[in-house]
Amino acid sequence: MNQKCFNIMMKFVFYIFFVLIVSCQKYERVPHIIVNTIIAEDTAISSFIIDYTLVDLGENAIQEFGVCYDTNQMMKNRVFVKNDTILKTINYKQLITKLEPNKAYFVQSYIKEFNGNYIFSNLKTNNTARITPSAFEIQTSHLNYIFGSTSVTFAVNEKSFDFGNDPKTVFGICYSNTNSHPTINNEFILYENYQDSITIENLEPNTEYTFRAFAKNRISTNYTSSVTIRTSIFFNGIEMVYLTGADSTNGSYYVSRYEITEEVWNAITNNQIPTGKGSIPKGNISINEINIFLNSLNNISSQISGFKLPTQQQWLYAAKGKFGIDNYSYSGSNNIAEVAWYIENTGDNKPKNVGLKKQNSAGIYDMTGNVREICVDKKSRGGAAHNEAFECMINAYAKQETESLNIAGFRIIKQ
């Protein structure tokens, strides 16, 4: 056999030997691990519960297993949290704590083999809770006083909520009649089940309260700006607001929260106590008829009297809000549509139900528009449903004749 044939034969033998070795070799199984979910922990803020499964442990000896996390998606600075339980091919739930609030975290589960090799799972992400949740703003434009009780109702705008992702965040309104910046250390009521409003009951009558909305999670409490309101007092069934006069001319007095309505008029003129504020303001009346009404009102109870029409100065003080100093073009706003029924929004130039528009800062409704309001000196102010905006400005007035006019109504005061 020549050398060339020998070389070819030896190459063939080595090839056959290599094939036999490879075909007899057993492939090594690699561990398999997956993260299922990341759950915001419900008992400790800025914590996660990692749900993961060891699907296959492979064949190499395993030194440890657990989860790791980082705020960087590239996982360059992983923090490892070892699981000290028994290693099995089962589902695990592992808690990681002391995370930074309001941050996105990336999480993996891992296996470390004794040879130093790491096997990592798929990558999952979640956000920790915000430090400061945002409270909803109290909507004073929709403030509603419930007739016949010392209660106040606030409308709630669900879009203004920001829960963060702390499941323990709560919202509500705190209030006080002694603290100008109430907190949850004062009285409070929680907002629940996404109702459209929050009603606070059992308040003291004729008392000034300050309200603030709040949101609270397990790190901090956030408050909105405050709203101060004096609760109502009822005299002979008529809801009235107390005003502290700025000078000796006005003094302190009560003014009716609403224009006198047909229902109140009918009750009083029939010597009965009204049972509600009514709806449409009373119009088509003369000064003489108003005086008859006032006489009946003053005689219904021997204990309560002193009701009368306001002077122009008293009317103007009430129209300018809580302290008689609001500098608006109209009572409660520079936007007439917010506070008044007038020619541009009535549709038929006729008065509408009282109390539907925004009140002024003293909590008095409809001092602009709806019906002109007669003062004791036979001048009427505030404009009416058929008037243009300039005729409804707070300083405008009209001479009220003695004959009845359906565009003129009134409200009353008591000193």
Q: What is the pLDDT of residue 102?
A: 77
Give the residue ranges of the chain where pLDDT is below 50. 21-27, 141-142, 148, 402-404
- Point out which residues pair with 372 in neighbouring strands: 408
98: Cβ–Cβ under 8 A, 6 or more apart, which residues? 46, 47
Rg, the chain, Cα only:
38
Span 105-150, pLDDT tens digits: 999 999 999 999 999 999 999 888 766 666 666 655 445 555 545 7
Q: What is the pLDDT of residue 248?
A: 56
Q: What is the pLDDT of residue 138?
A: 60
* CATH class belonging to 139-230: mainly beta
Q: What is the pLDDT of residue 325?
A: 81
- Point out which residues pair with 139 in neighbouring strands: 155
The helix-helix angle for 287-300 and 262-269 (nearest 10°) equals: 60
Q: What is the pLDDT of residue 79?
A: 96
Burial (CB count <10 Å: 0-12, 13-18, 19+), residue 72: exposed
In this chain, the answer to whether the domains covering 139-230 and 233-414 adopt an identical fold is no
Q: What is the pLDDT of residue 208?
A: 85
Span 208-224, pLDDT tens digits: 889 888 888 777 788 88
Return the CATH fold of 233-414. paralog of FGE (formylglycine-generating enzyme) (3.90.1580)
Q: What are the residue boundaries of the structural domains of the chain, listed by start?
A: 32-127, 139-230, 233-414
Q: What is the pLDDT of residue 29?
A: 65
Q: What is the pLDDT of residue 301?
A: 77
Architecture of the domain delimited by 32-127:
Sandwich (2.60)
Q: What is the pLDDT of residue 402?
A: 47
Q: What is the pLDDT of residue 60?
A: 85
Contact 98, 131 (CB under 8 A): no
Q: What is the pLDDT of residue 128?
A: 81
Q: What is the pLDDT of residue 15?
A: 59
